[in-house]
Each structure stands twice: as C-alpha cells, then as structure tokens.
Amino acid sequence: MALLLPVLVTTDPSAGAQSQQVLVTVRTTPALPAANTDVKVSVRITGCPPSDAQVEIYLTTDDGATSSAALMERSAAITSLVFRAHADIVLSKAVEGWYGVRVVCGSFRPARRPMANTTFAVGANPTKESRVVGTSVAERGTIRLEGDGCPGTAVEYAVDQVELHDGPFVVAGTIPVAADGSWGGDVTMPDYVVPGSVEIKRRCVLKNQRGETISIAYPSGNDVTVTPAPSTTTAAG
C-alpha cells in the first residue's frame, strides 16, 4: 500500500457547481495513522460561498468486482466571508482502509464518494487477512474459511462460479468474529454451485461511527475447484 502524503489538494468544479472552483486540502494527525486509533482529519476549503458547508468522510472498499464508498463521518464546516472554510473531524478507532473527503456547499454537490486526490490511508501496513483452507471441495461439501483483523461481529461470504466474478455480492452465509478480530468456520457449498471453478468472497460487517451497518471486503484468494459429489449406490439385496 502506498504511503500517505500528509497534505492533499483537489479542485472539483463538478457539473452544477458554482462558477469558481472549490479547492480542498486534507491533512491527518498523525500523518501516517495506524488502524484502531483516533485519527484527526483536518479539511481546509477555498471557494465555498459564505453559507453552510458540509464535510463528509468516506471509507472505500473493493471486493474485486464492485467498489463502494461508505459514509463514516459528517460535520458542518466553519465558513468565513472570504470563501474559506475548515472542519476538523475525528475518526474514533478508525478502521483500516482507504478514506477520502467529499465537500458539499451551495450548488457544489459532487458525487457521493471521495473527491479526486483527497484520499488517505489508515493502516499503511495492512493487518487484515483471510484465506480458504484447501483448493478443492465436492458439490455440497464443506471447506474452511478463516481470517483476522475484522473489527465487526460477523464475516459474510459469497460463492460465485468463475464466469460470475463480476456479479453482485450474494450472501451465502455468515461466520461469527471473536473478540480479537479473528474468525473461522467450515462452510457448505450452496446447492446452486456446480462442478468447476468458484470464487469465495469474504467481507467484514461492522457498524460505523454513525451506527450504520457497512462492510469491508477482504481481498479474494485463489479460485477453488468444485468436484462432482461422490456417487452413492445401493448394494443389491
């Protein structure tokens, strides 16, 4: 993971915005924050009119097929009469991952995701890992999933045939998470899975600082081969 730059700047004259550009500078304290610590995010804005400006912080995640941005915190910015505003937001026990800032003011309303060049990392050295124990499993058989680094209470998994890698995350089951963030369990292949290659996606489910449920994807590992179920025969009497 790339190191975080302590100061980031962006301009985003999105469609429908006011005629002047909005300039955003983002700084974190500490400059290279560790996961599960309090992180102060200082946002300085130039170009917002003297009205209520909102600053939002999003956590981005990607499961290899789809990407999403979950709103983690929101705060009103203090705006002066010279088109400058600032906000200091604290992410309490920040979850590991990539974050970014969105600013809303006046008619300036960019898409609900981090604005360009406002991203910063929490946990530059990732500690969140998961794995599939084994490379093959029979139809409707079981295979073990395990991992660590989940700050939530459950891990959801989805099983996709290889040709459906780009499909949505369809939850096939959940695994409880221990107090130290570790988890593991034997999971059964769903009835819809046929022999061939499958991908088992995993994501950690937790509550953000606003009490909303969000999920953080684990990087998917190697594909697993599903073999035909053993045939059963009845001995002649």
Residues 6+ apart with CB under 8 A from 233: none
The pLDDT of 157-181, averaged and rounded, is 85
Specify if 3 maps to a domain. no
Residue ending a domain, among 105, 122, 139, is: 122
Specify if 232 maps to a domain. no
Q: Same domain for 156 and 116?
A: no
- Count of CB atoms within 10 A of residue 158's CB? 22
Q: Same domain for 24 and 111?
A: yes
Determine the pLDDT at residue 5. Answer: 41
20 confidence band (pLDDT: 50, 70, 90) = low
Determine the pLDDT at residue 74. Answer: 92
Q: Same domain for 154 and 96?
A: no
53 confidence band (pLDDT: 50, 70, 90) = confident
Q: Same domain for 162 and 177?
A: yes
pLDDT in tens, 31-41: 999 988 999 99
CATH of the domain at 155: 2.60.40.10
The pLDDT of 205-215, averaged and rounded, is 83
Q: Same domain for 109 and 22?
A: yes
Specify if 188 maps to a domain. yes
Q: What is the DSSP string of 28-84?
A: EESSSPPTTS-EEEEEEEES--SS-EEEEEEEEEE-SS-EEEEEEEEEEEEE-TTSE
151/132 Cα distance (integer angstroms): 20
133/153 Cα distance (integer angstroms): 21
- Given a cut of 60, whether residue 19 has pLDDT beyond it is no
Specify if 221 maps to a domain. yes
CB 101 within 8 A of CB 115: yes
Q: Same domain for 152 and 204?
A: yes
Q: Same domain for 93 and 166?
A: no
Specify if 216 maps to a domain. yes
Nearest by Cα to 158 from 146, 142, 174: 174
Specify if 206 maps to a domain. yes
- Per the structure, the count of domains in the chain is 2
Determine the pLDDT at residue 226. Answer: 95
The dihedrals phi and psi of 164, each to the nearest 5 degrees, come to -110, 25
Q: Same domain for 133 and 182?
A: yes
**What six digits make up the tokens of 69?**
């941005």
Q: Same domain for 37 and 97?
A: yes
CATH of the domain at 48: 2.60.40
Specify if 146 maps to a domain. yes
pLDDT in tens, 217-232: 887 767 899 999 887 6
Specify if 2 maps to a domain. no
17 confidence band (pLDDT: 50, 70, 90) = very low
pLDDT in tens, 170-201: 899 999 999 999 999 999 999 999 999 999 99
Domain span holding position 103: 8-122
18 confidence band (pLDDT: 50, 70, 90) = very low
Residue ending a domain, among 57, 92, 122, is: 122
pTM of the model: 0.73
CB 224 within 8 A of CB 136: yes
Higher-confidence residue of 93 and 17: namely 93
32/10 Cα distance (integer angstroms): 20
- Looking at every residue in the chain, the average pLDDT score rounds to 84
Residue ending a domain, among 73, 104, 122, is: 122
Q: Same domain for 133 and 117?
A: no
Q: How many residues does the chain have?
A: 237
Determine the pLDDT at residue 4. Answer: 39
